[in-house]
Amino acid sequence: MEYRKLGQTGVDVSVICLGTMTWGSQNSEAEAHAQLDYALDHGVNFIDTAEGYPVTPVAAETTGKTEEYIGSWIAGRGRRDDFVLASKVAGPSRDPIRKFRGGNNHLDRRNIELAVDGSLQRLRTDYIDLYQVHWPDRKVPVFGARGLSDLADPVDAAPIEETLKTLSDLVRAGKVRHIGVSNETPWGVSEYLRLARERGWTRIASIQNAYNLLNRQFEVGLSEFALREQVGLLAYSPLAGGNLTGKYLGGVIPAGSRRAVAHQFVRYDAPKQAEASARYVAIAHAFGLDPATLALAFVNAQAFVTANIIGATSLDQLRVAVASADVTLPPEALTAIERVHAELPDPCP
């Protein structure tokens, strides 16, 4: 397993980060514990979760289950110091099913402090290594939206200044060790960095955004921040919701798959997605690789990537994902990938 620095924190994290978004819905508590055991036993020391998980599918009665499963594993195994634990505070709810803290959950001091205390209780730990803002409070193009045509922020949106000051205070209090952002834009990242520099507040260590062969938008703008400012990418959705495995080609929807249970993930329902996915799958087969391995190894190879957040609903899927850390794609495969990208750039932004 390869390890990389988490921003400027001095913390080493595995290039493969274990994502947990399905635990509590598609995965049982026993299955979650088995994944944690396997991951840590094979060099993974980075676990990512959120107060809003699971989301496959979204359901009010399961929200928070993922953190509870991690907490019961920590209580039973006693291995808290063996890994870096990341979680997230949810911004204003964008779905009608879940209402965090009564639905008025802007990224202000009250909400962030309530959120972190709730996560600590569910996780059964007294600190979170990396605490992230799950998505911005202001209006931004997230989860597949493209561009910003007007400034229509909610009138009660919390400014980044209040969000960062609160997060910095949590670090000083010892509840949180490091902080990061998710689903952010170049402007948002620059604001967090500017305020930290000018006010002496805690600096963000990471950016968790989508990045995969079907969506390489991070390379435009944010990759320079990642490299120059040492605020690396924690890449989520490296398999583009499973599309890059090839299992959905031909319109097939396997029972129990994400497409079968989580209908809110529409960013990969794009006109050119199937064509691009088929071509990437063909490249994998031409080089004797599992399509998932090709897609994951591509993400692992990027200099601006700190960690690749993989998700699995079975141990077989987890084994493939963890093993991708040891795969180096041949130059000819990378050339073939770039040829497809040039012809079908970012079909699923």
The CATH number assigned to the domain holding 94 equals 3.20.20.100
What is the tens place of the pLDDT at every residue in 219-249?
999 999 999 999 999 999 999 999 999 988 8
Distance CA 184, CA 335 (A): 30
Distance CA 261, CA 29 (A): 18
Give the residue, 2 or 249, on which the prediction is more confident.
2
Asked if the bond preceding 57 is cis, omega within 30° of 0, the reply is yes
What is the tens place of the pLDDT at every residue in 11-59?
999 999 999 999 999 999 999 999 999 999 999 999 999 999 999 888 8
Residue 348 lies in a domain: no
Distance CA 135, CA 143 (A): 10
Residue 219 lies in a domain: yes
Catalytic residue among 3, 38, 53, 69: 53
Residue 349 lies in a domain: no
Residue 141 lies in a domain: yes
Residue 41 lies in a domain: yes
Looking only at the bridges linking them, the beta strands covering 3-5 and 305-310 are unpaired
Rounded to whole angstroms, what are the CA distances from 163 to 64, 183, 289?
22, 15, 44
Number of domains forming the structure of the chain:
1
Residue 78, domain extent: 3-343
The pTM assigned to this predicted structure is 0.95
The answer to whether the beta carbons of residues 135 and 91 sit under 8 Å apart is yes
DSSP state of 28: -
Tokens of 308: 């690749």
The residues with which 194 forms a beta bridge, in sequence order, are: none
- Angle formed at CA 129 by CA 123 and CA 133, multiple of 5 degrees: 85
The DSSP annotation for 169-217 comes to: HHHHHTSEEEEEEES--HHHHHHHHHHHHHH-PPPEEEEEEE-BTTB-G
192 is catalytic: no
Residues in the chain: 349
Residue 269 lies in a domain: yes
What is the tens place of the pLDDT at every residue in 315-329?
999 999 999 999 999
Give the residue, 92 or 238, on which the prediction is more confident.
238
